[in-house]
A and B are shown apart, each in its own frame.
Chain A
Amino acid sequence: MDASMISPFVSAIQNVFSTMFQLPVEVGEPKIKSGHKSTHDVSGIIGVSGEMTGTIVLSMPSDAASSIVALLAGMEFDVESADFADAVGELVNMISGNAKAEFQRRDVSISCPSVVIGSGHTIAVPSGTPCVMIPCTTDCGEVVLEVALRETEAATTQSSTAAA
């Protein structure tokens, strides 16, 4: 995965957080994740298909997630409520959609979001796909955006044809 796949996500999380609830996001140095264990207790997950395949995960500690959800929804929800999961799903949906728009000339689709809550859960990514963790600092706490994407054969064939 090259840097051109990561930078759209950096812009996207900053754009979504600042536009929807005026929360600045300071982005740290991205690094490769090892293992499948979730970084934090709350994971908003989007699947990617088409000329790119993989997953995008917004991983947040419960406290940070509660504060961020309260900013987005304008009210506090119990972490185990459906409303809380819905808000986390909408956040990762907006971040993924925003980043996807930067993948020019690639036909990529995103799934509806899924949300997993609980300590120590695991999120499997397709084998051979590296997962890049983008650490983010906000006034609500630390959150991590995890991007595990690779180009599919369709994309590779198309770019070889275009180059020929």
Chain B
Amino acid sequence: MKILLIDDSKTMRNIQKSVLKQLGYTEIEEACDGQDALSKVGAFQPDLCLVDWNMPVMDGLTFVKNFRQNDKNTPLIMVTTEAEKSRVIEAIKAGVNNYVVKPFTPDLLSERITETLAKCSIGS
């Protein structure tokens, strides 16, 4: 299971990485913005992406729209401080499969990851 973490904050990527490692996922690649992520998806071929919304250079929503032009299946989870209902709807319309609002507990993030992978029928 290959997971791509896309967040401009290294602190947040480390927090997510530690949750993923507890779940047994160790094949993790990191990107610091949407453009960096787009440049890595071809070689890395992720099975799941966790993507922040507010990032410099290219935000998460733009990444999702770009990514979905070529890949309709890989599950995407938006992990963001954007908590308004309108934003959640906007992200889902763009193609995210699940949504986690920061701040989150490790348990909540684990739950959403497991739920998303089960929904998209991807085993570990």
A residues at B contact (CB < 8 Å): 15-16, 19-20, 72-74, 82-83, 86-87, 89-90, 93-94, 96-98, 100-101, 110-112
Contacts and interface: CB of A to CB of B under 8 A. Distances in A.
A83 B12 CA distance: 11
B103 A15 contact: yes
B82 A97 contact: yes
A90 B12 contact: yes
Given A97-B54, A100-B83, 14 more contacts: A72-B15, A73-B15, A74-B14, A74-B18, A89-B9, A90-B9, A93-B9, A94-B81, A97-B80, A97-B81, A101-B82, A101-B83, A110-B81, A112-B55
Residues of A contacting B: mostly: helix
Residues of B contacting A: mostly: loop
A112 B8 contact: yes
A100 B84 CA distance: 8
Contact of A97 (B12, B14, B15, B102): B102
Contacts of A100: 81, 83-84
Question: Can you list the 6 inter-chain pairs with the closest CB atoms, starting with the nearest?
Answer: A97-B81, A101-B83, A19-B103, A87-B11, A90-B9, A20-B103
Nearest to A106: B84
B104 interface: yes
Given A73-B14, A83-B10, A93-B81, A98 B56 contact: no
B70 interface: no
Nearest to A109: B54
B39 interface: no
Interface in B82-106: 82-84, 101-105
A93 B8 CA distance: 11
